[in-house]
Homo-oligomer: A and B are copies of this chain.
């Protein structure tokens, strides 16, 4: 029995096949171009495993339609990526593979990976953020994604401009929301180079940490989760985590007693595998729940 994972990101699709212990047997990436080309690669990747496949988990960039009773369930909906607007992702996969399919956002999938196998495995609730090309967040409480009329879009929460930051933000919708101020492109536009090339000593990182700390602060007050996991390219700057914790402590002013920050504000235990592991686990879950 095998499970499939599709991490559908804005830059690349990572496909993987795992066995019953969710050990990854094969993994490959394909560029995110348009549905015709990219999905051809995806289908070709899974076809050799079709006979043994018991379920597929998809974690997709969004916005996506997550309501099973909706006529557009399983679609990528109003994404700025024009080629992918209104793409019937789940429907297309179901036509190619007659297996149960789990469908959620890319960040929810990563949150689920951490919840099951990473920092969340001993607690009830986790929030996972990716801070990279964009900012996105997903939350789980007792195995269930936090959602309602749709999935969260946490990356666009409001942030208070830092006193030493004159940048106006580059979110096409909100200007200076979290993503507009703290995602990779905003760093690059401010400093004229990619974040990965900005030295640890650059004072900008304190500003960046302050924005991320505002996000962690608001998340603490809104969801009060057991752990907040910060993933994505920006957090690969290993000096950032401690800066975020310090800025968070200053913002909170002792008002809420969180768990110790060493276990409360963390980077992913599964590193870059959180999404794939989450999708595989969701595939297994949907396969089990639809077994005869």
Residue of B nearest to A153 (CB): B221
A173 touches B254 (CB 8 A): yes
How far does the Cβ of A231 sit from chain B's closest Cβ, in whole Å? 18
How many identical subunits does the complex contain? 2
State the main secondary structure of chain A at its contact with B. loop
Number of residues on chain A facing chain B (CB within 8 A): 49
Task: Check: A259 CB closer than 8 A to any chain B CB.
Answer: yes
Which residues of chain B are within 8 angstroms of A218 by Cβ–Cβ distance?
Answer: 157-158, 218, 222
How far does the Cβ of A66 sit from chain B's closest Cβ, in whole Å? 9
Residue of B nearest to A226 (CB): B148
Residue of B nearest to A259 (CB): B149
Q: How far is the CA of A153 from the CA of B225 in the complex (A)?
A: 12
Residue of B nearest to A256 (CB): B153
A205-228 vs B, Cβ < 8 Å mask (1 yes, 0 no): 000000000100111111111100
Contact A173:B253 (CB < 8 A) given known A144-B142, A149-B224, A259-B149: yes
Which residues of chain B are within 8 angstroms of A78 by Cβ–Cβ distance?
Answer: 257
Please give 16 more A-B residue pairs, beta carbons under 8 A apart, in addition to A152-B221, A160-B160, A173-B252.
A142-B144, A144-B144, A146-B146, A148-B225, A149-B226, A155-B221, A156-B255, A156-B256, A157-B217, A157-B221, A158-B160, A158-B251, A159-B160, A173-B254, A222-B222, A222-B223
